[in-house]
Amino acid sequence: MIDLLDLQKHFILTHLREGDIAVDFTMGNGHDTEFLSKTVGETGHVYAFDIQEAALRSTAENLKKAGCPENYTLIHDSHHNVKNYVKEPIRAGMFNLGYLPGSDKTVTTMRKTTLPAIEAAISLMDRDAIILVAIYPGHAEGEAEGKEICEYLSGLSRYKVCATRINILNSPTSPFFILIENKP
């Protein structure tokens, strides 16, 4: 059976290299931040966003335990404010929408900030870049968020970006992800 998390990393690694700039738009507990940090190495940089202070604490602790280079900036702000912090082109970005794993699930990503964050991410893309958006339609906001994101991306010019959806066909409420790649 396909492991969606492994598949996501496979696609990111086709674009992201040592020395690149990457963004974890939804830090959570820092697993994507760790992956990006280790991939870009000491000469690269990762910006990671979350609105929950608990996410920043957990991520900082996890990055230290994992032995990541100190090549990251943890930002306590909404991902839709990315352009206030990231001024250079990015080679990769990751969105893992939904709830903070292990939380009480009262705070979730929301359409009103996620869509502007995706628009900003696309505008920051370097040559041969990728944005990955993991969507969890198993709850009402996740389902609505996924529909709105798919609608928005389907309206973009295929001559500028390629938006690909990967999902499990016989499990409609399973998580799915979207790859947004620009033309090299």
Task: Return the domain boundaries, the chain.
Answer: 4-182
Give pLDDT, residue 111. Answer: 65
Fold of 4-182: Rossmann fold (3.40.50)
Residue 155, pLDDT > 90, answer: yes
Alpha-carbon span 184 to 176, nearest angstrom: 25
Torsion of CA 82, 86, 92, 93, to 10 degrees: -20
Band (99; pLDDT cuts 50, 70, 90): low
The pLDDT assigned to 117 comes to: 96
Higher pLDDT pick, 154 / 173: 154
2-53: pLDDT as tens digits: 777 788 999 999 999 999 999 999 998 899 999 999 999 999 999 999 998 9
pLDDT, position 95? 94
pTM: 0.93
Q: Is 29 exposed, middle or buried (0-12, 13-18, 19+ CB in 10 A)?
A: buried
